[in-house]
Amino acid sequence: LKDSEGWWTEGEVYPAHVATGGFIQVGDDDGPNGEEWSAAPVEYREDGSILYQIGGIEGEVLFEEAAQ
């Protein structure tokens, strides 16, 4: 997790829900089990992990889905 906006705590794990089109919905520190934010996949890695980025904000927020 990388967050330049202050909505998430780096190093924490946040549950995400798969939405249509490959997007995920994820909560933040105020509602970690919520679905307030939408993130789009930006990189599919060779190890099977996926890097997602939150859209619609000025800063950079990245989430990584670990390989399964």
The pLDDT of residue 44 is above 90:
yes
Sheet strand arrangement including 24-26: 2-3, 61-65, 50-54, 37-44, 24-26, 16-18
Can you tell me the distance from the alpha carbon of 68 to that of 56, in angstroms, rounded to the nearest whole number?
A: 29
The pLDDT of residue 43 is above 90:
yes
In the predicted model, what is the mean pLDDT of the chain?
A: 85
Range 28-57 average pLDDT: 87
pLDDT at 9: 86
Would you kindly state where each structural domain of the chain is located, as residue ranges?
1-41
The pLDDT of residue 40 is above 90:
yes
